Structures are given as structure tokens and as C-alpha cells.
Amino acid sequence: AEHQHARYNPLRDDWVLVSAHRVKRPWQGQLEKPPPEDVPRWDPNNPLCPGATRANGEVNPQYESTFVFPNDFPALQPDAPEPDDSDHPLFQVAPARGVCKVMCFHPWSDLTLPLMSLPEIRAVIDAWAELATELGASYPWVQIFENKGAMMGCSNPHPHCQVWASSFLPNEACLEDRTQRQHLSQHGVPMLLEYAEQEARRKERLVVENPDWLVVVPYWATWPYQTLLLPRRHVCRLQDLSDSERDNLASIMQRLLIKYDNLFEVSFPYSMGWHGAPTGPHLEEDCRHWQLHAHYYPPLLRSATVRKFMVGYEMLAQAQRDLTPEQAAERLRSLPEVHYK
């Protein structure tokens, strides 16, 4: 807790430098603006609101629950042409096709997931699973992710996420596929199933748990209050969850996100996303090495206005954090589960 040391991340096959004493240093750097507290519940100029007109001229329906539509500015398109062949191994190129969708969680712009009801969160989970099944029927990778807050690049104050399906396995998916495959081959058990069992027993990095799920600050966490959401049983994909597991997922997500908001009494920014076994052609393969999980990467370090910057040493050498995962977990664990609002 007082001296620097390095920790190994078996999921990414890399190391993180832990320098817990650095959090005591005075801060004279950039201060972020807290998120606005006066977001209108409905705004005709907000393209994610029910009845609003989007950039392409389409009008949203008067939706009352979740609402999914094609991203008006997609990073991936299904009909992109083949790139020209490379003339040198140092200048490789490959085709990249896919689809990008946006999913609104709720019709009200002034809500976020921790302020939604359990049935409303369960509807989001069901919509995630439905999209994972639909897009995963043909695409090898379906990435569900939420950028919450302007600090994490969210350009619209409305509860929503994105879903990108790609014709290729992206870097993080390839990396986790390799490390989990190696662990199962060497140890005979899925890595994250074994890890969840260990963390449930040790409890020092445990934040919240219920009969089907647990949330920990991982032993190898990089971001200050990073967490890992894990199922207790072996499950490969989001769409494989049972009804009771989906109910308990809604509950544990709400509990975690309330704690996040309560930490600095602010709508807590983060980027999160689901990782599960590849789909499309991989549906016929043996993917027992995979274990479903969700990553939460929040940037705030000391307060609602002081964030962790991944620059300098982190970009040029390796990741570094300013408090131990155990300290972060203890602080999150001790927070109330009633929202400060």
C-alpha cells in the first residue's frame, strides 16, 4: 500500500505499475467541469429524444422503453469496398466491414442507469442480448459499449450506448481470446471463472456481489476506480444468461453505478463494455475458454474535477496507477447503495 510495485494482468498479458504514494502529491493541473445538473427531460433539439429529428432527417418514434436505430455517422459500413493489395509487409491493409447502432436506454434525457428502475435496466439487458444475437448471427464480434459523460467523449446528454458489429476480431478481442485459451489449456479451467472464485473468497477487492454476479476492482486495475463485472457460473455470451441472471445483473449494475455516483456525488463518467466469446463463424467453434465479463473504466481520481491522465510514461512505457486496487475497492465498498440524489 505504501511502496511501488508491478502487477501482472493475465487477461492482457501485460503489467501495470502501482505507485500508491503518488496520490498524496499536490495537484495543480487541469480541473474538469462537473456534468450539468439541469439536463432537460425532453429537448426537441436533442436527436436522441422521442419525436426528435436526427441529422439524416429521420424522426424518432415516441418510444417509451429502449430504442435502437442505425448510427447516422457509422465507423463501420457493410458495403465498404476491398482495399488495394499492399506492396510491402510494412504497409499491410485489410478489409473492415460492419454495422453500427445506437441504443437509447430510456426516453428521458435526465436519467442515467443508476437512476433507472430495475425493470427499466432489465429491459436494457434484454435489448443488449437481442442485439448480440441478431448481429452475432453473421458478424464475428459484437461490441456493446457505453461512454458516459462528456469527459469520456459522450457528445449527447441522453442515456444511451453503442453497438458495433465487425467483420473482424478487434485487438482486445484477439488478445483476450489468446490469453483465455492459453489459461484453459494450461490450468483446465476458464481464467475468469477461476479468478471470480478467488476474488469471492479473498474479498479484499470485492465491491458488490449477489448470487449470480460479483464486481471487483481487478488485481491488475489500471484506472483508479476500474471494475470488472463477472458471472459466478461459466457463461460465454450475454445472450446465454438465464432470466434470474438477467434480473440479478440489473440489480448489481444499479448497485455499482449508485456507488460510483456517490463516490464524488456527481454523475460518474466512465467507458464500459461487454466482452464475450466471438460469434458469427465462431458460433460453431469450441469457445469454452471464454467467460463473459464487463469492463468499467472511469477516469476520476481524486474528486469530481480531477481525473487520471494516461500520458507520458503510460503511453511510452506501461500503465501506472496512483492508489492500490485494494484501497479503491475498500472506498467503493464502503459507500451507501442509496443514490445521493
Give me the DSSP letters along 209-229: E-SSEEEE--TT--STT-EEE
- Residue 152's pLDDT band (boundaries 50, 70, 90)? confident
With a cut of 80, say whether residue 72 has pLDDT above it.
Answer: yes
Contacts of 87 (CB under 8 A, 6+ apart): none
**Could you give the residue numbers annotated as active site?**
160
- Left if phi > 0, otherwise alpha if psi is -120 to 50, otherwise beta: which for 149? left
Within 10 angstroms of residue 339's Cβ, the number of other Cβ atoms is: 15
pTM of the full structure:
0.96
* Domains and their CATH numbers in the chain: 37-82+92-334 (3.30.428.10)
188 is in an annotated binding site: no
What is the tens place of the pLDDT at every residue in 252-289? 999 999 999 999 999 999 999 999 999 999 999 999 99
What is the tens place of the pLDDT at every residue in 191-211? 999 999 999 999 999 999 999
98 is in an annotated binding site: no
309 is in an annotated binding site: yes
91 is in an annotated binding site: no
295 is in an annotated binding site: yes
What is the tens place of the pLDDT at every residue in 26-64? 655 677 777 777 889 999 999 999 999 999 999 999 999
